A = this chain, B = another copy of it.
Amino acid sequence: MPATPKPFVICAPEPRSLDLIFTSDKLAVLRDRYELFETEAEAVAGLDDATLARARYVLGQPPIPSETLAKMTSLRAVLNVESNLLDNMPYDEVFARGIHVVTTGAVFAVPVAEIGLGFALDLARQISASDADFKAGRELWGGDGNLSARLLTGADVGIIGFGDLGRTLNRLLIGFRCNVKVHDPWLPPSILQDHQVAPASLDEVLKDSDFVFVMAAVTTENRGFLGAEEFAGMRPGAAFILLSRADVVDFDALLDAVERGHILAASDVWPEEPLPPDHRARRLPGLIHSAHRAGAMDVAFKKMGDMVLEDMALMDKGLPPMRCKRAERETAGRMRSKPVDTN
């Protein structure tokens, strides 16, 4: 009697690779449970009908035209391991057929939240500036070096965007007993209250916080929503920590606000990446510079593979995926965070 054939998976995980997102042990599990068809994203639309018809899962987010999708009669899920949604498949048809589109961006939550908290403590205590001064022999000792120092414990903290990143940051802050306000227009107030944070307008978050963390994705509606007026409304000396995408900020206005000493800032993302060598931001004091490194840790990529395997196991049993985040019919088309080219 022939064995049940293994479920068939089209793998086109660019810009990731199977080796990036799976540990060798987990890759062995993947190969053991599934029949893998490894290809390039651009090649998927051209695959033969029989191959398309067999695919239970697509690992990656290759372009899938409507006519290709129609041939993928066994498809249960597109497992997008880049995690920003490209506008390269007919999401309405996908959703109408009950095919799940899931993303693995949650893997970046802990790395991003940790470096974000590190930036906050650095700005509060001038850790990197003082280290540079010490190396240069111009350090100030004791209280003389603490004139602008502040505590995070008990501080007023604002978080803009309360998805996986914001929630993880909020968890890291537990021991600091901060007064946390959150602005997230896609969430109802009671969900925020359940997380023991106070729902607030963007204005309130900006003007009532000592530390403002920006974790909001770029959407069709929020490009550049943090500009000169918003920075001017912040408390003098407050710290602005940008962790999501440069496009939510008017970057020149941000640099101006830091340059005139109104606020301190840290940023992991930049209007151009790499930033030109002569960009004014490069040597600006009061700004901590990070080269889009907040999330891109190997442990994060490897967790993508774990998540994907767990959700495929659920779907194999006829259950819905629970581990990855599902793209939503209503919002899939609104996301505008640029995918990365490199890992």
Binding site for B on A (CB under 8 A): 92, 95-98, 110-111, 114-115, 117-119, 121-122, 124-125, 127-128, 130-132, 134-135, 137, 139-146, 149, 151-153, 171-177, 186-191, 196, 273-274, 277, 282-283, 288-293, 296-299, 301, 306-307, 310-311, 313-314, 318-320, 322-323, 328-331, 340, 342-343
Contact = CB atoms under 8 A, between A and B. Distances in A.
Contacts of A329: 98, 320
B142 A342 contact: yes
Contacts of A318: 330
A153 B122 contact: no
Q: What is the copy number of this chain in the assembly?
A: 4
Given A175-B172, A188-B311, A340 B142 contact: yes
A146 B343 CA distance: 11
A157 B322 CA distance: 24
B134 A289 contact: yes
Contacts of A111: 149, 151
A124 B274 CA distance: 23
A323 B188 CA distance: 7
Closest CB pairs A-B (n = 4): A118-B121, A128-B128, A134-B289, A188-B310
B274 A141 contact: yes
A286 to B, nearest CB: 12
